[in-house]
Amino acid sequence: MENEVAKQIVDAALSVHKGLGPGLLESVYETVLFHELTKRGLPVARQVPVTFVYDGHQYDEGFRIDLLVAGCVVVELKSVEQVHPVHKKQLLTYLRLGQKRLGLLINFNAALLKDGITRIVNGLPDTQ
C-alpha cells in the first residue's frame, strides 16, 4: 500500500514543482502539495505531532511531520540548496518514532524535482 501512495505523492509533487518552480519557502510547497493530494482523494494530515514512549514514559519533543498521507507515508518537505544527512535522519526519526514504514524527503529547491526526492524505508521491502 505504501508504495502505491508514494507514487501518487511523487506525481502530485511533480505537478506542484512544475506549477511553482523551485526556490520558494517550504510552507508554500506544503500548502499546495496538501491541496494536490486531497484533490486526488488521498487523506492527508498536516503538521502531525510525533509522540513516543520510552521506558513507560510518553514524550512530546515538538517533532512534527509535515504531511502524513493515507496514514502510512511520511512526507518531509525541504527547500534547501543541498540535502544533508541530518535531513535524512530527521525523516528516519519520524518513521521510527511514528512506527511508519515509508517516508519521502522532497527538496523543492532542486532544478529537477526527480533529483530532489529521497525515499527512506523503515522495515519496508525496498521495491519501487
The model's pTM: 0.92
Q: What is the tens place of the pLDDT at every residue in 49-103?
A: 999 889 999 998 889 999 999 999 999 999 999 999 999 999 999 999 999 999 9
Burial of 93 (0-12, 13-18, 19+ CB in 10 A): middle
The β-bridge partners of 119 are 104
Domains and CATH numbers, the chain: 2-121 (3.40.1350)
